């Protein structure tokens, strides 16, 4: 079972994301309802800001709303993007 919650870009905690949760991004074609990218929560800062890891070395333990490749916040580089927290319940 899982819960899926749309996140606000201004929520630094990403909805209280925990290690093992998934952050799903819909950014192609102006947030068309199709998930385009996934990342896994692998840790958190001391302030509770989730850190994500992905499939490239440049994307290990990065902030959930920051694009290392774009060197900017995702909401700025992917206009209209939507993001979701997928919390998998045990």
Total domains in the chain come to 1
Q: How high is the mean pLDDT of the chain?
A: 88
Domain that holds residue 59: 2-88
**For range 70-78, the mean pLDDT:** 84
More confident residue, 60 or 53: 53
Q: Is the pLDDT of residue 7 over 90?
A: yes
**For range 53-59, the mean pLDDT:** 76
Kind of pairing between the strands at 66-67 and 50-53: unpaired
Q: Is the pLDDT of residue 48 over 80?
A: yes
Q: Report pLDDT for 66.
A: 84
């Amino acid at each position: 079972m899982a819960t899926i919650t749309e996140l606000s870009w201004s929520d630094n905690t990403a909805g209280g994301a925990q290690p093992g949760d998934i952050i799903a991004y819909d950014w192609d074609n102006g947030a068309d309802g199709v998930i385009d990218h996934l990342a896994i929560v692998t840790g958190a800062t001391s302030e509770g800001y989730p850190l994500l890891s992905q499939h490239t070395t440049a994307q290990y333990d990065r902030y959930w709303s920051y694009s290392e490749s774009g060197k900017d916040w995702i909401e700025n580089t992917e206009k209209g993007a939507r993001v979701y927290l997928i919390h998998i319940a045990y």
